[in-house]
Amino acid sequence: MASSSSSSPTNHLIIYFFLLFLSSQTKHASSSPWSLYACYRYIIGFGDSLADAGNLHILYPSNPPRFMDLPPYGETFFHHPTGRCSNGRLIIDFIAQYLNLPLVPPFYNEKNSSVKGSVNFAVAGASALPDSFFLSRGVAIRQANTSLSDQLGWFKNKYLPKFYQSPEDRQNLLDSSLVLVGEIGGNDYNHALLDGTSKDLVGTFIPEVVGAISSTVKELIQLGAKTLMVPGNLPIGCSATYLSQFKSSNKSDYNPKTGCLNWLNEFAQTHNKLLRAQLDLIQKENPHTDIIYADYYNAAMRFFLSPQKYGFSKGALTACCPKCGPYKLDNPDAKTCDVPSQYVNWDGLHLTEAAYSIIAKGLIKGSYTIPQIETTCANHMFNRSYPTPPRIAL
């Protein structure tokens, strides 16, 4: 969704041949497409536990430690817990590696000091809406929540003033950054549904949640962001935690191909449909900004439909670590699996590194970004003049 000048047949042909050229440049590359690395030298991330690389751990120390701060979290790639809610890397980590960039560090870290360049503001448990919204609806708050507006405030009021004081420096950062707004919004529904709030009431949250995400996207554009990737919700009806809590004796409640709960996946699709509609409106209002919708739902649905095809020999609906996570599953004899890569579900609510890898690859190298990110990058190359940065070894 670049500017209107890219819509002519001549420009489409130019972009097509340019992409062919870039493709030829990547045949001997060690990792990601040179084209994407040239476009996006930094990643600025916002979100919840699907993207948190350690902010919650530092922001809100806990004694005893939280579940993600204990083994077996982090065992597969880092070999120790990092604050990530998985056995290894997350989608944002894989996107960084596909772009040949270092892993994006959390804004808050062990030294309590952030690093200039790529930065991750995501916090596990975060919601798009503030606590005041949920309290006004009679929804209990388990603990103080970090909202999307809080994360945006850190970016505007702490990060930019510290590292990018001049307008020129800020614009250079935002011109060459891929800004990931999410995934966010899932917890606005998760916390309420899993604590017993009626699905009808939670359904009324969707316009408010999408509105909060849309407002953040607009504010980031006003700050100078040029490329924003905004993910939709995952198929939550395939979550082991939801399947455990909302068991039904009615077979028609389940999808016969996946075993997932229909009403929960329909709920996620309603959120995604409204989010896409809002992003389309924002795109029309900002034709010189690229807004990319990341279709997490369908990128993930592939392995729920055909788990064996993607290497998940233990299926897609069974949690590798059923006693982990904030919502323990109901099998008292369950044990942590030996090979997490054979599972989609990690702890019932979060996915394994293997599942996140497939989603991320579908975004960067597949067709699960709308528009496709390589086309967006090609438009950048024609409309902006960037020096070619040095490659970073992984």
* Domain ranges within the chain, ordered by starting residue: 30-383
| Dihedral, 45, 47, 51, 57 alpha carbons, nearest 10 | 100
For 268-316, how does the pLDDT look when each residue is reduced to its tens digit (9 = 90+)?
A: 999 999 999 999 999 999 999 999 999 999 999 999 999 999 999 999 9
The reported pLDDT for the residue numbered 145 is 78
User: The whole model's pTM is what?
Assistant: 0.88
SS3 content of the chain, % helix, strand, coil (to 5): 45, 10, 45
256 has pLDDT over 70? yes
Active site residue 330: no
For 331-376, how does the pLDDT look when each residue is reduced to its tens digit (9 = 90+)?
A: 667 789 999 999 999 999 999 999 999 999 999 999 999 999 988 8
The reported pLDDT for the residue numbered 299 is 98
The reported pLDDT for the residue numbered 27 is 39
Does the domain formed by 30-383 have CATH 3.40.50.150?
A: no
pLDDT band at 140 (very low <50, low <70, confident <90, very high): confident
Active site residue 49: yes
Q: Are 46 and 86 in contact (CB under 8 A)?
A: no
For 210-222, how does the pLDDT look when each residue is reduced to its tens digit (9 = 90+)?
A: 999 999 999 999 9
pLDDT band at 324 (very low <50, low <70, confident <90, very high): very high
197: tokens are 């709030």
One of 6, 350, 357, 380 is an active-site residue; which one? 350
Q: Are 30 and 393 in contact (CB under 8 A)?
A: yes
**Mean residue pLDDT across the chain:** 88
One of 48, 93, 188, 347 is an active-site residue; which one? 347
Q: Which residues contact 90 (CB under 8 A, 6 or more apart)?
A: 50, 51, 52, 53, 84, 353, 356
- Cα distances (Å, whole numbers) of residue 250 to 61, 196, 256: 43, 20, 12
Q: Are 93 and 103 in contact (CB under 8 A)?
A: yes
242-254 average pLDDT score: 96
Pairwise CA distance, residues 98 & 33, whole Å: 8
One of 49, 86, 118, 176 is an active-site residue; which one? 49
